[in-house]
Amino acid sequence: MEKWVRDYLDGRGITNEHIQNMTEIELMHLSRDLEYEHCRNDIAYYVRTYCVYEDQDADERIQPFNMWDAQEEALKSIHEHRRNIILKARQLGITWLVVSYASSILLLRSGRSVIGLSRTEDEAVELVRRLAVEFENMPQLIRHKKNAVGWNGITYENLAMSLTVYHQDGQPSVFKAFPSAPGSVRSFTADLLIFDEWAYQQWADQIWTSALPAVNRPNGGKFIGLSTNQRGTLFENKFTEKDNGFNKIFIPWMADPRRDEEWYERTRLDMGGDITQEYPATVEEALSVAGGAFFPEITRASFISKKPLEGILKRYVAFDYGFDMFACYWIQIDSNYHAQIYREYYEPNLNAMQAADIVRDLSSGEGIELYLAPPDLWNRQSATGKSTADVFHEHGVDLVKVDNNMFNGCMRIKEWVYAKEGEQSRLTILDNCAPNLFDSITKIQVDDKKPNVYAKMPHNLTHAVDGIRYFCVYWTLPADVIKSGNTKKWTDDMWEDYKNANESDRRYLIERWGEPK
């Protein structure tokens, strides 16, 4: 008798004598209870023996889950760690593996809760369907309530977005699925939280903040996030951050033993550069996503300047405003049409009054020529009758409406960031002044359906790039070249502005109009 069997029997006070005196039905129940215990003690045994997956290429679609080595290693690693993130190639059965793991939590212990989060409602429904397929194919351990006549074991029933497991001697265990949305799991507590295709979920940052407390208990709660990679996402950040508490698992394309070099070469010819995103061989390939960047011409050498522009300068402010992010940039431009971003303000959760005050205060004394903003800020709010532009005006910042056409804006950015080999672009960032912009503009991808514009997802990459787009699309004039001996005659209005200006503004007026005459 194996030790775990003896320990189980001893823990319940079942002796050999008790076993000898059991009826056939009692022995059957004991055998089933021992099988549950075996599954609790050996998760790989449970998956290999009872779990299934769907194979679209097999004659029989439902196949026993005879795990490949990489799948079994991933399962073991998940089981041993509380916070897991899986970077994977496509079509490796990892979602089925995670669903199988979720089924063990629901089936083998009562009163448990598992939450699954997917990109869309249809994909959330699919998670529940897969879980039901697992249970439908293990009649030795669990049966649907409608098929439980004469069965006195564990049962389940499922709806489109949930599945409940009923234990005879304990509380039900429940699986709930949700489409990704801010706050979707805020009010729940779970034993396991699953983020499927995490890199492609909208509002990932907000969801992570609200969902983490569901499993963030000192002595319990487990998380599994799995996905192929997408540049600039929270998923990528969590996988690449050092010492952030995540157990990081990478599963390459060759984890499926049926895939060989010939298969890979055929796939590469079909997909081109996109193959490294869908079928990476290494972590480096998975994170590089070659060929998809919208601004591949931008490098640190071409886009980061080490010293401020000199001479007579005009200054502009351009920004993208939303409650989810206020991305604001201060840009100076010299008489040779060289522009430099010298300040960034990048913060979420600001109302229009706060944003306006920040722009006004940070711009004080700098002689800002224009404040450039997208046209949607002139839309009036039904509750107040005011627009965001009105609020900015009331707080001392008069905005200028710029063209919001995506194609025009993208082409103007490309003109500004173009650089000959070994040279810098006309638009640069002063070193260490706009880290969020540099990170976003080097990661933002080509739109899948409109190759002449950048992608709107992941949305967190668009704020900074939109901010400078409003500068690039506007016809900005270089700083005036002030020649010595300027004899330009000042008008009465000029004199009035000069007399009412502070020292900094007076210097700016002299730069524009020359010495007072």
Structural domain includes residue 14: no
Residues 329, 181 within the same domain: no
Residues 6+ apart with CB under 8 A from 68: 255, 256, 257
d(CA 243, CA 247): 10
Closest CA to 224 of 118, 302, 300, 135: 118
Residue 6 has pLDDT above 70, yes or no: no
Average pLDDT in the 182-211 region?
86
- Which of 288, 323, 349 terminates a domain? The answer is 288
Question: Does the predicted TM-score (pTM) go above 0.75?
Answer: no
Q: How confident is the model at residue 113 (pLDDT cuts 50, 70, 90)?
A: very high
Residues 187, 249 within the same domain: yes
Please report the pLDDT score of residue 246 as a whole number: 94
Please report the pLDDT score of residue 517 as a whole number: 64
Quick one: DSSP state of residue 478? Answer: P
Place of tokens 């979920």: 201
Structural domain includes residue 13: no
Residues 489, 451 within the same domain: no
d(CA 238, CA 249): 12
Residues 242, 104 within the same domain: yes
Range of the domain at 490: 482-517
- Which of 288, 316, 350 terminates a domain? The answer is 288
Structural domain includes residue 6: no
Question: How many separate domains does the chain show?
Answer: 3
Q: Please compute, for residue 129, the number of CA atoms within 13 A of its CA located in the half-sphere on the CB side.
A: 8
Residues 458, 342 within the same domain: yes
Least confident interval from 22-31, 357-366, 426-435, 439-448: 22-31
Please report the pLDDT score of residue 483 as a whole number: 44
In order of 138, 173, 314, 488, 493, the CA distances from 511 in angstroms are 82, 74, 10, 12, 16
Q: Where does 110-260 have alpha helices with state H? A: 121-136, 204-211, 234-240
Residues 255, 313 within the same domain: no
Residues 314, 361 within the same domain: yes
Region at 311 (left for phi over 0; alpha for psi -120 to 50; beta for the rest): left
Residues 109, 201 within the same domain: yes
**CATH code, domain with 448:** 3.30.420.280
Cβ burial, residue 106 (10 Å; 0-12/13-18/19+): buried
- Which of 263, 288, 313 terminates a domain? The answer is 288
Whole-number percent of the chain with pLDDT over 70: 89
Residues 418, 351 within the same domain: yes
d(CA 463, CA 446): 15
Residues 515, 435 within the same domain: no
Q: Are 488 and 513 in contact (CB under 8 A)?
A: yes
Region at 183 (left for phi over 0; alpha for psi -120 to 50; beta for the rest): left
Residues 417, 496 within the same domain: no
Place of tokens 């006004």: 360
Q: How confident is the model at residue 508 (pLDDT cuts 50, 70, 90)?
A: low
Q: How confident is the model at residue 422 (pLDDT cuts 50, 70, 90)?
A: confident
d(CA 100, CA 506): 72
Structural domain includes residue 24: no
Structural domain includes residue 284: yes
Please report the pLDDT score of residue 487 as a whole number: 47
Cβ burial, residue 181 (10 Å; 0-12/13-18/19+): middle
pLDDT digits (tens, 9 = 90+) for 311-341: 889 999 999 999 889 999 999 999 888 999 9
Structural domain includes residue 29: no
Please report the pLDDT score of residue 209 as a whole number: 84
Q: How confident is the model at residue 121 (pLDDT cuts 50, 70, 90)?
A: very high
pLDDT digits (tens, 9 = 90+) for 26-75: 666 677 878 888 999 999 999 999 999 999 888 899 999 999 999 999 99
Least confident interval from 52-61, 63-72, 115-124, 425-434: 52-61
CA torsion, points 324, 330, 333, 337, in degrees to nearest 10? -10
Closest CA to 365 of 194, 161, 506, 460: 506
Pairwise pLDDT comparison (25 vs 51), residue with the higher score:
51
ω into residue 458 within 30 of 0, thus cis?
yes
Mean pLDDT of all residues belonging to the chain: 88
Structural domain includes residue 100: yes
Q: Are 417 and 282 in contact (CB under 8 A)?
A: no
Please report the pLDDT score of residue 486 as a whole number: 47
Structural domain includes residue 11: no
Residues 394, 281 within the same domain: no
Place of tokens 């490098």: 299
Please report the pLDDT score of residue 166 as a whole number: 97
